[in-house]
Every structure is written in structure tokens, then in C-alpha cells.
Structure 1
């Protein structure tokens, strides 16, 4: 018999003892991690191959497309080998954590990296930095619990987390040789990996934290028998205000300015339930610590787990009370009245699920959560009447009131924070009843990012935000979104997997849309860059012309040549060869020579003039050719110049440039924010130099919120001009919203029309708005005291 490794195959124990045995716990951690992370490569190469095919259809580089296709096919044939190597790399991380290898002398020699190796290295570094920031809180929890496990196992010294982002990314990078990924394939592979890995890591960290907690390996001073999860600090009252840009309160939980990276995070997300995968947090303005503790004690006293509604119940009660004061909201329950059970309400919701959603859609258009809550309650009472019950005598329990209001506030916030057209708004109206059913039975939807219902709303919002169906591709996306909604409305009863299935189908469509969006953004950036180069070339040429004409007595033909033909020749030389190039210097020398010829002619130096004109024939011919003149027109122009220069007493005077520098970019950008003169206009405006300096540190991908008439919409920086530093700002669908300089952006920020903040998922953004609204209902000091 082969002796089993006690570290990997420990002796059999009872389930209770196994959960306490550190060796068993380590083995479970290893198994869960390798299985989950290995799934990242499931179907990976098939997806990449489809993207390569679409890229080939959209592009014009046939040779490059063929290279990409051959490369991805080769990788697809090696899919099993790559997956195996990836799992083995992950297992080695656990081996190093449990039984570190003998230290070896580090190799201090230097070696050069190829361009491909450098791109791969930088791509991996970028993904790692984003993941470290995204999972900061669950990684801290997991690190502390792993330290407790290491102590129990007798492992000495500080050990690196075996499932830290850098380890998973390094394992992926290690799969490829220098020739495996073509130049066109590299971004597709790493974009897909970056898209899949965060979702898997979020679920994995949640599972590992829960496993370690259940086994008694808590963090800090938590006892092994009972670990109480601690929520993260909530933002202060000012943090709930979306108008503030990061940096106003550096170091606060509400906003942190990162000078070098240029990424602005809005807030530290609170963990209302302590879930490593949770999102949403406690209401802004009220410290959640006492609130969570009080709710946890109450739940424990009743013998049930802590629910999300327990944390926000008092806030929702205050919100409803404010509505009652205004003559709205639910009625109070009189003593002895019939209260609907959750089972009864679910039965009514099942009847309503396929009914006309027009009342919900109209309520969404109003963007009033109270109005939507009222419509939901009226619909439920109508369903009770269909069942033959007395709807007027029935009342909702506190749990049901909370669920209805949370769903109403959620959908109203999504509608208010995104640009939803009529058809898209109808999709969300149809989903209100299914999501009410989820909220009645599963509170985790509001604070767990991996919840399938949450994922569907995220992908549906991305598909519908700003989508008016103006192009065939946009209409196809809306059709796919409608099919996803139809599937949920027709099939959802209790199994939440239907949400994940619908989201997955729609997500596939968005992957194709994103590829087209990226190409459109690239072309838009190139077009703006071209216009900026033309503007700079024209400005430079105008300055040279003005300097040569200033204060000089010139003949009309030479002055016209300088102001028209030479100006155009300078512009072309700047654009084609760049400033300071030999051709550009030769173009400048031509203008100076013509000025000198005119001066010599004024002094009757005929022989010198003749020799100079003969020497300038070739440069003049090139100048006229660049202006688009044919041979005959060029000869006529030169004849006029020679005629004027041949007469020493020809009329001369000081000339002024006739042509100004035309704006090649509209002075006022066609966007919802066109109230200011944007995109390089000549209007003067006041701006804070410090804020403008912060804006200059922003990077591509930075999230923004555009505010118009009190409504926010998502946007991001898609491109930054290397010439002027201006930002191309697009919406979620990649459509251009505006082009602004850092100074102009600082003015919009100060005016409250742009908010600089990291891009949150639509559901996260909606919950942020919900907590901001709920927090305004309570006195912050009272909320902080629980």
C-alpha cells in the first residue's frame, strides 16, 4: 500500500471534529480554491476564438487576423494541458504556504524582455492592482484567518496568501511562451481573463472566509466558538453626497484621491452583513456599528440568522413615516387586524407576474420610489381580490413592507441613475414582481454581489442604458434583453438559477457589443487626435506667417504667397513629417528666402534676386504642388512674383494675415453638458488650479457621473489626447458625450455637473442612492448611537 500524505489526505474524523481539525480545513481550502479558479479557463478559448472571428470581420488586416486565428486555434488544442498547468501552479502556492521550499539564492542577473513579454507583464500587473483594490476587505479578513490557521498548523513566519490576486494572475501568465500570443491576441486574452477572474475570486473569498469562520479560525479577538463579523466603517455624512469629488476630504472614508494612478474611488463599501462579497453597506450618515450589533442581538434572541432588512429596518420605518406625514405610503396596522403571511403574498405575486406591467413602468418614469411602492401595493390588493379575499381588511407585515419599499427604491434608483428609454423602462417594469418575490424570501440580493438576480439587473442595465435602438446592433441588443426578461417572467418560480441563465445569455451579446464599442472609441480617439494635430499645425503655421509679415514692407504677390501658399505648405510639412523635421525646416527656410528676395529686390539688387529665384524654383514647385496646384497654375503664380520683384519701385506695404485659424472642433460640444463652452473654445472661465491638476492625473477608464437636471448617468474616460491632454468622455455604450480639457472638467466638477468617481456596477450604484436617501431620513447622531 502507498502511504497517504497526511497533509493532503488526513485521517477520517466526524464532521464536527473535521471542521475543527486544521489539516482538514487546509485541505478543504486547497480543494475549493483550485476547483473554483480552475473554472476560469472553462470554455475560455472558445470565447476568444469567437472574438477573433468578429475582430476579423470588423477589421481590414487579413494577414494579422489569420495569425490571430491560427494562434488561438493552437491554444484551443492545448486547452486541457493549459488548464492542468494552471491548476498545478495554484497547488504549488498552497504547498509553498504549508511547506515552503528551501530558500535559494536569488538570481540578480539582468535580462532584456521582448516587447510581447513586456506587454504581458504590464497587463498582468494592471489586473493585479485592480483586484487588490477591489477585494481589499475580504482579503484582509482572509489574511487574518489564514494566520490563525497557520498558527494552529504550526507554520512559522509570515506567509503569503496562496489565493491572493498576484498568485492567480502569475499562474495565468506563466502558461504562455513568447510566441504563443500574437500582438492582436494578447489584449483579447487578458481582457477576457480580467472579466472572468473577479467574479470567481469574489465567490471564492466569500466561501473561504465562511469556511474558516465556521471552523473557528476568526480574525482578531474573535473566539473560536462564535465569530461575529465586523462591518467595515461606513462613510461619513458627507460621503453620501455624490456631488463631492475625491480629494475634498483626503483620507476620509468618503473619498480618496490617488495622485499617481488617477483612479478615484468613491467610498469604502460597508459590509452590512459581514459578507466578504457584500455590497451596499449601511445608510450614509449613520454609523452601522451599533445598528448591526443591535440587529444581530435581536436576531440571535429570536433564534434566526441576521437578515439585511434587520439592519435597515429603522431607516425604512422613518422613511415610511415621512411618507405618511405627506399623505402617502402604507397605512398603519390596527390591533387585531389580519396580516398577510409571506406565503400568501408570494401566491399573489405569482398571479401578478405575467400581468400588464404598464402601471409599474409609468411609476418608474416618475422616478419616485413612493409612487412605485404605492403601485406595487395596489397591484397586490388587486391580486387578493382575484383570489376572493377582502383586500381592504388585509395588511402587510413589517417584513413585507420592508421588502416592497426596498424593491421600489431599488428600481426607482436604477431608473434615475441611468438613461432608460421607453422600451427599456418597460423591461424593468416587468421585472418588479419577480424581484419582489426574491426580496420576500432572500435578503442577500441587496448585499451579495454574486447573487444571480443582482447580476441580471447589472447586465440588463448595461444593455439598456442609453440604448434607443437607433442601429441594427442596438436593436439586436434590446431584442436579446427582452428575451432575457421574458424568460424570467415566464419561468421564475423559486429557482433563482433562471436569473443567472438569462444574465449569461445577455452577457454573451454584450461581449460582442463591447468589441464594436472599443473599435468605435478607438476610431473616435483617432479622429479627434487628427483634428488636434491639424489645429496645432495650423496654429504653428499662422504664427510663422504673422512673424514674417509683421512690420515688413512687402510686395502684394510675395505677401499673398506667404499668407496662402506658404501657410498651407507649412501645415502639410508639420502634419506629414512633424515639427522640426528636415522637410519642415526646409519649408520654413523657403518663406524666409522669399522675404529676403523681396528685400533685395527693393534695393535693386537684380542679379542677386535672379540667382535666388533660380535657386528657389524646386522648393517653390514643391510648395505649389502641396497646395494642389497643377503645373500651369504654379507657373502663373511664379510669373506674378517674378514680375513684381523685377520692378524695384513696385508698390510695397505692411500686410496683415488674412486667414485666421479655423476651429476644427466645435466650440460647443453637442452633449447634455453643453451649457458651458467646451472643447477648446475661446471663452474664459474661472477654475481652481489645484482641482485642474487633479483632473490631469485621471487615466483612461476613469469613471464619471454626468448630472443633468438632477439625474445622473454613467460615463467614463475612453481616450486622452497625447497632444492636448483633453478627455474623450463616453457613456456606458461607448457613445461620445463630450471632449473636455482638464480645466474645463474642473469647472464642471465645481458646478456639480460632473462627479469623478470609480465606476460601480448598476446595482451597486442604485443601492448607494437608496442608502443616501434613507440616511437623510434620520438624524446622524441618533443613527450612530444605534
Structure 2
């Protein structure tokens, strides 16, 4: 590199700007101007949404809170816009610096509920934008690397136009109390709607500016960069054992997977969801193997990508059992069943007995749920006089059937769903089939009403055995809203929206009760741990006084019973280092000295010491629950024993209370061997890094998974309280015990997604397995 270019990242003197400097200035100016447009008219639009929401809602106080908050933000609109633009300019300054600042350390810290929701919303938008603009970003990265080299800048530099920059600049505009919960969702939804169009314009213009300046990268570098930006599908953020460094997936943030993973979380109005994002990754990394170049993958339709994967999955599943007729499958070789005919049959099936689907879900029928749905449809067609051999299903309809089948089976496999849940889910199969046949956006729009209902139903049923009145009421309520959907759904998806809203309201009520129950459980565990710690400490003190020291039976009994209890009480109430606890220890030491003086016939000293101990002994006996008469009798026995110098003295062994043992081990810890297996120190160290809110997946003896999370961590013993999705205690484990469960495959440390998102991951894994097998066969 020429010496004249070294340090070229500094701002040039006026009149001496080189062409490459002017290119950077143009990029900066265009980006700041365009991205600043995100906030143009932003708050007036939010004000109108708040006004409409207040008219439609019933919570006057919440509406007023939202209204006052948005008015305050509107008054600060100019300040917020200036700060937003400044954040973007700062990113360019850091990129052009001689030595860019090191990336901030990713630490874990406690967050409020509002901060948590803001971080989740920001992370979700970033992930989606990274996927949506995969290829223009890859090209822009390459050209910016070349620009940096021409400016004489060394070392890796983060793209100042990556989606994270405007998103985090937007997040930093708000304090924790600026956005009430209702307003928060409106603000981030509006930002999510505005940002993609502006980013598309920014990337197109930036690439055009760099290309016009003859700044481009070799094609080989571009291919490598594209592969680097799109990791292989199926990659997961679950840490591998033995990795050099490890960060828990989540902490207090429920879902923080890196952009580019195949499990991003979609939002309403976005074009690509978790399934299509994973498909985009595969196409970017293996475009030739799938018959499509990475450069054009982003232009392919969502439905085309899903169909391609489903067709490969179907071929893998059938394993040559039969060959589809390609002509009739795509509708070009003969007549196919019309959508109206298929919906007529589905409408007829909606009120039928759902037990065939229930048997598949619980495993009594080993067939695929999609095959059972298909058989029921064909049976209904024959009853209507339609010959499926002559008018087969369209391939798109076959895809919808298989998607619903895999989705429902995945939901059942990924959650702890019991008998009543089986009946509820089986009744929903046909309504959801109708949705999939007419509107496949359910699979890639997170805000879809049918998706929200399925999330709510799963949360209501997950781990719910109906043991309490509240649990039974929740199950019954879920059953009633599902019955309403089955009875009323024709084509208007408002039925799903109303049902989901009603059930979500009931879930929110139960969540508040669950939070109280979690706090009580944590307080009870914490109280037991403090009691056990106090008893262990006191046991050591008592043992140190009784060991190898001959004492009269009366004094030894006092020390081992009454003094022990008194020490425990002062430890718990005042602390082990408190003056009161230290004074309590002194009472026992004084009694030991009295016993020794009595053994040497020092009568006056014994009398003086007992008089000095009168008040402390009274307090000690009172703490044991003894009244004045019982206390006097106890003191009298001690005095009688000390009055005679020749009273027998022996060494007494201290008693160990039966209740000093830890609480019984949770059933989840009793593995096949009957004992908690040995743990790996590395995994145990990782478990000690977990934080409250960390998601887990628990796997029972039959291989069924259920969602769980860390609800509380003991400050005394570092034990973790694990609860299920509804806040019910599952187990209390030490980091070492949790490491043993991880090693045994009974626990997976992973973020707990919404149930539909989790099912989509399972669905994608099945489809991706077929794709991998197809590519392996082709390569072989």
C-alpha cells in the first residue's frame, strides 16, 4: 500500500479532498438524508393510531397514558430526529477512523419488562432486515472493503449501513419510561413498516455510487462473503459442548439469536418468516445444488421456496413407494380439483368427529397427520360423487395439507400437551387447513390472527393437567373459544382474532397469578436455604464447644438444645456477623466457663457468673418458646448440677437434627441410573452463567419436550428455580445438577420461542433433512 495513503481516513483539509474521500462523503450524506426520512411524519401517524385505539378500546387510563406519552414525543420530534441522524453520522465516523473502536462486550444484565420488550423488538427487526437485504448487503460489504483499502484504512470494519445501525439508533432515542406498553407496540410496528423501503433505496443508491466510482470486489470474494453472511440452514445458537467460549442463549432476553440463523422471528407485515429465512440461507449457500443461483434467491417467491422444499420432503418420505404424475400435480396434464370443491369438503369435515387426528397426535396412529387429513378429504370427495383419481388435488393443496400436518405434530412434540389438549388440537385441524388453503401468509406473518390463537391455545394447554380450579377453568375456556372457531369460521379471520384476544386476556390474568406463585416459591426456597445455612453454621459452633470437653449433663443439654436454637434464631434474624449473634455465642462460652469453674469448686465465681447470665439466659429460653416457669425450672437444674463439685462430667456428642438435610431431589433428576450422573466442569461453569429468564427445553423419559425457563437463582447457593411456560415449578437444581441433566440429554439450554415459532423450526428441520438427503444422493 502506498505510504501516501496511510492515515487517509482522517477528514481531509478543505480543497484537498480526493475522489475516494468525496465518495465517502456522498455515501454519508445520502444515507443520513434517506434514513432521516424514517421519522418524517412519524409521530403524527402514531398520534392518529393512538386516537383510533382509544375509541375502540375500553381501558381509559391506558389510553390516556398512551396519549400523553405520544404528545410528549411529538413535542420532542425535532430533537429525536437530530439524535437519530447524529447516531448514523457517528457510525460513519467510527468506520472512517484510523482505529475503529473495538466491539462492545456482550454482557448479561437484568432488564425491566419494558427494556426487555424493546430489545426483543429491535433484535427481531434487525434479523428480518438482514435476511431481506442479504444480497445487496453482501455487495455493499465488498465495495466498502475496497473503499477502506483505497482510503488507507486497516483492520475489519463494521458496515455503517447495516440494518443494526438505524434500528439501534431508534432504540437509543427512548428512556425506559418513554413508551407505555400499548404505545411501544405501535411505535415499533410503525418503524418496522417504514424502514425496509428506505433501506432498499439506501442500499441501491450506495451500491450505484460505489459502482460509478469503479469500486467493486472480485467475484470470488463476493461468493465467499455471501456464504459467510448466510450460514447453513439448520444452524442453531445452542452452544456445542467443548467450545472455547460460550454465551447463554437468552439470559434475561428471551430470544437473541444472531442474524442469519435459520430461526429468526417474523413480525406482522414482513415478507419472510422463520421457514423462508431458512430457505433463503440454504439457497444462498447452496444455490447450484438447488438449481437456483444465490444472486436471484431473494427475488423468488415465498410460496415457490416452500413448495420446492415440500416436494423434496415428500419424495424423501415416500422413498419411491409411488411416483406422482407430474402433469396432474401441477394442473397442466388434466383436470384438477377446484378450490371451491375442496373448501366445500373441508366445510363439511369441520363439524365431523376429530378423533382420527387426535389418534395421530397422541401416537396411537403411526401415520403422518397430513396423510390422515388427505384420506379424510378424499373420503369426503367420494361422498360428494367426485372421483379423486380423475380429478386429483392440486400440488399447492397437497402442500397446504402437509404443512398443517407437520405443524400440528410439531406443536404436539414440542410442548407438554395432555389429554384435554389433544381434543382441543384435533378440533382445530380442519379450520387451520382451510386457512392454509386460502391464505398461506399464516406461515410467515407473525401477527396473523390464526397464528396468535394457536400460540394462546398452546400456552393455555402446555403442562396443564387441570389439577387446580384455575387450571381447569383455563382449559375449559380454551375449549370454548376453540368450539366457537369451529362453529363460526367460514372465511372471516376475525373469528381467530377475537378468540385469541379473549383467551390472551385470560392468560394474562393467570400469568399475574403465576408471577405471585413464583415469588412465593422463590421466597420459600430462599427461606429454607437460609435456615439450612444457619443450622450448618450453628452446628459447627456447637460441635466445636462440645468436642473433647467434659461437661455436666445439664450444661451439655442446654448447649445442644436451647443454645443451638437461640444461635439459629439470632443468625436468621440479625445475621452471622451481627452484635446480637456474637453476644449469643458469648452466652454459650460463658456457660462452659461456669461449668469449668464449678468443677474447680470456685463457688463465688460461679454465683457471680450465673447472676450475670440471668438476663441472657432468660432471652435464650424465651426464644425457644419457654414461659417464665419453664425457664426457671431449667435454670434450677443447671444450678443444682453446678452446686456439687463432684458432679459427673463427660464428653457429649452433639446431635444432628433430622431436618438439616436438603429438600428431596426433584423427580426430574432421578435418571435411569437412579443417581444424578457425573457432570462436566465446563458445562457446570456455563450453567453458572445463566440468568433469570433463560429459556430451557426439558425432555422426559419418553423423549417429549416441554418449554421451561429460569424463574429465580438463589443468592446463597446459586440453585435455579425452573418453571414451565405457566409458571409452575418443575425443579430446583444446582448448576452441577443442571450440567448433569444437560450431559444426559434431559435439558437443552435454548431460548423459548412462541409455540408457533417453535413448531416452524421443527417443520423446517424436517423439510431440511429431506433436502440434505437429496443433495447427498446427488453428490454420491
Shorter chain as denominator, the TM-score bin is 0.7 to 0.9
Deviates more, 1:516-525 or 1:473-482: 473-482
**8 Å CA contact 1:246, 1:266 repeated in 2:** no
| TM-score using structure 1 length | 0.75
**8 Å CA contact 2:466, 2:475 repeated in 1:** yes
Distance 1:284 1:594, change over 3 A: farther
C-alpha displacement of 1:667: 2.0
Distance 1:515 1:707, change over 3 A: same
CA distance in 1, matches of 2:749, 2:451: 25
Task: Tell me whether 1:688 sits opposite 2:680 in the alignment.
Answer: yes
- Note the alpha carbon deviations across 1:160-218, whole angstroms, 9 max, x for none: 98995666666664877xxxxxxxxxxxx96x46xx74686357425531465489847
* Secondary structure of 2:601 counterpart: coil
**8 Å CA contact 2:312, 2:774 repeated in 1:** no
Distance 1:273 1:578, change over 3 A: closer
Q: Which residue does 1:61 correspond to in 2?
A: none
Q: Which residue does 1:646 correspond to in 2?
A: 643
Alignment partner of 1:493 out of 482, 490, 500: 490
**8 Å CA contact 2:249, 2:255 repeated in 1:** yes
Distance 1:591 1:781, change over 3 A: farther
Deviates more, 1:587-596 or 1:495-504: 495-504
**8 Å CA contact 1:279, 1:447 repeated in 2:** yes
Task: Tell me whether 1:450 sits opposite 2:447 in the alignment.
Answer: yes
**8 Å CA contact 2:451, 2:756 repeated in 1:** yes
Task: Tell me whether 1:766 sits opposite 2:724 in the alignment.
Answer: no
Where structure 1 has 5 or more consecutive residues not aligned to the other structure, the ranges are 1-20, 51-71, 104-118, 152-156, 177-188, 225-229
Q: Which residue does 1:477 correspond to in 2?
A: 474
Deviates more, 1:493-502 or 1:762-771: 493-502
CA distance in 2, matches of 1:300, 1:495: 38
What pairs with 1:732-747 in structure 2 (closer than 5 Å)?
Answer: 732-747=725-740
**8 Å CA contact 1:237, 1:284 repeated in 2:** yes
Distance 1:489 1:330, change over 3 A: farther
Distance 1:261 1:78, change over 3 A: closer
CA distance in 2, matches of 1:248, 1:504: 45
Alignment partner of 1:529 out of 526, 531, 543: 526
* Secondary structure of 2:513 counterpart: helix
Q: Which residue does 1:701 correspond to in 2?
A: 693
Q: Which residue does 1:311 correspond to in 2?
A: 305
CA distance in 1, matches of 2:563, 2:54: 56
Q: Which residue does 2:671 correspond to in 1?
A: 675
Deviates more, 1:770-779 or 1:331-340: 331-340
Alignment partner of 1:586 out of 583, 597, 609: 583
Deviates more, 1:485-494 or 1:510-519: 485-494
Task: Tell me whether 1:750 sits opposite 2:714 in the alignment.
Answer: no
Task: Tell me whether 1:85 sits opposite 2:72 in the alignment.
Answer: yes
Q: Which residue does 1:205 correspond to in 2?
A: 192
Q: Which residue does 1:181 correspond to in 2?
A: none
Distance 1:24 1:724, change over 3 A: closer
C-alpha displacement of 1:222: 12
CA distance in 2, matches of 1:285, 1:540: 60
CA distance in 1, matches of 2:302, 2:531: 58
C-alpha displacement of 1:489: 2.2
CA distance in 1, matches of 2:167, 2:35: 19
**8 Å CA contact 2:129, 2:196 repeated in 1:** no
The number of aligned residues is: 692
CA distance in 2, matches of 1:622, 1:46: 66
Q: Which residue does 1:321 correspond to in 2?
A: 315
**8 Å CA contact 1:726, 1:741 repeated in 2:** yes
C-alpha displacement of 1:648: 1.6
CA distance in 1, matches of 2:49, 2:228: 29
C-alpha displacement of 1:478: 2.4
- Note the alpha carbon deviations across 1:215-271, whole angstroms, 9 max, x for none: 9847867999xxxxx99966658846x9x64665568xxx85479979785675438
C-alpha displacement of 1:656: 0.6
Distance 1:752 1:354, change over 3 A: same
CA distance in 1, matches of 2:778, 2:46: 42
Q: Which residue does 1:425 correspond to in 2?
A: 422
**8 Å CA contact 2:248, 2:749 repeated in 1:** no
Distance 1:497 1:765, change over 3 A: same
Distance 1:239 1:300, change over 3 A: closer
Distance 1:702 1:122, change over 3 A: closer
Distance 1:121 1:544, change over 3 A: closer
Where structure 2 has 5 or more consecutive residues not aligned to the other structure, the ranges are 1-29, 91-108, 145-158, 212-225
Alignment partner of 2:406 out of 409, 414, 423: 409
RMSD: 4.8
C-alpha displacement of 1:458: 1.2
Distance 1:600 1:273, change over 3 A: closer
Task: Tell me whether 1:632 sits opposite 2:636 in the alignment.
Answer: no
- Note the alpha carbon deviations across 1:267-290, whole angstroms, 9 max, x for none: 754389995662235669983425
What pairs with 1:104-119 in structure 2 (closer than 5 Å)?
Answer: none
Q: Which residue does 1:728 correspond to in 2?
A: 721
Distance 1:96 1:27, change over 3 A: closer
CA distance in 2, matches of 1:783, 1:476: 51
Q: Which residue does 2:17 correspond to in 1?
A: none
* Secondary structure of 1:704 counterpart: strand
Alignment partner of 1:549 out of 546, 550, 555: 546
